[in-house]
Amino acid sequence: MLTIDSLTVRLGHRTVVDALSAALPPGEISLILGHNGAGKSTLLRTIAGLLRPAGGSIALDGADIARRSPVEVARSGVVLVPQGRGVFADLSVAENIKLGMWNARRLGRSTTDTERARLDDARELFPVLDEQWHSRAGSLSGGQQQQVAIARAFLANPKVLLLDEPSVGLSPKLADVVLTTVASLRREDRIIVLVEQNVHQALAVADSVAVMRAGAVEQHGLAPSDIAQQDLAAIF
């Protein structure tokens, strides 16, 4: 369980995350909705250890990770796929994906024994990438590059996977493919936090929904099927 309690993050003089509390359970995809500037990316970056909160706590299975270094947070199994793909265009698909594996090894979260099986799993989960395993990543479509970024995170064997708008800039069809891939990464002991603007497609794969407004959680634990059109109009 990832338990966030009274988390406050200031950027300059602005309070961007304001006494936010939420509980994100394993085995679920928790979708975070909110208008531009609500603080969603800042929340993900703080969970990943890239920003130091001014107050509050972030507990992963009971241990407070809020003020640990990014490396220590990664070592505890938190992986962020930030906005923008962060794919190395001149490296092959395979090399890009293996970077996740090497990173996990460096952090002590992977052994050579498990890596082979995990690589095979990745090729099965991402058949499009398997077909282009040795192609230059920069030659892939936007949707495929996004899949490379997600596959790299998968290879890092995350306990907590944070995805910041993975379908941004993609056609509805490719967004669907990417979000279906995200859904296939759901595992009993894995916490997946998804920030998305492609709301309808994200609702189709989410297990629960939280709504952020002005840095705080306005509603949480909502069932995706309970979110009606008029609610969405009020959120955005």
Nearer to ligand ATP, 14 or 106 (CB): 14
Nearer to ligand ATP, 30 or 41 (CB): 41
Q: Which H or E element spans position 220?
A: strand 216-222
Report the nearest approach of ligand ATP to the CB of residue 40 (Å). Answer: 4
Binding pattern to ligand ATP, positions 5-44, x when CB under 6 A? ------xx-x-x-----------------x-xxxxxxx--
C-alpha torsion 60→218→27→71, nearest 10: -30
Nearer to ligand ATP, 68 or 165 (CB): 165
Nearer to ligand ATP, 37 or 169 (CB): 37
Report the nearest approach of ligand ATP to the CB of residue 196 (Å). Answer: 10
With binding defined as CB under 6 A, does residue 169 bind ligand ATP?
no
User: Is the CB of residue 128 less than 8 Å from the CB of residue 147?
Assistant: yes
Distance from the first to the final alpha carbon of the chain: 28
CA separation for the pair 215, 15 (Å, rounded): 8
Entry field: residues in the chain: 236
Nearer to ligand ATP, 36 or 230 (CB): 36
Strands ordered across the beta sheet of 55-60: 14-24, 2-11, 55-60, 63-64
Binding to ligand ATP in span 88-107, by CB under 6 A: none
Report the nearest approach of ligand ATP to the CB of residue 8 (Å). Answer: 13
Q: What are phi and psi of 129, to 5 degrees?
A: -75, -35
Which residues bind to ligand ATP, rule: CB under 6 A?
11-12, 14, 16, 34, 36-42
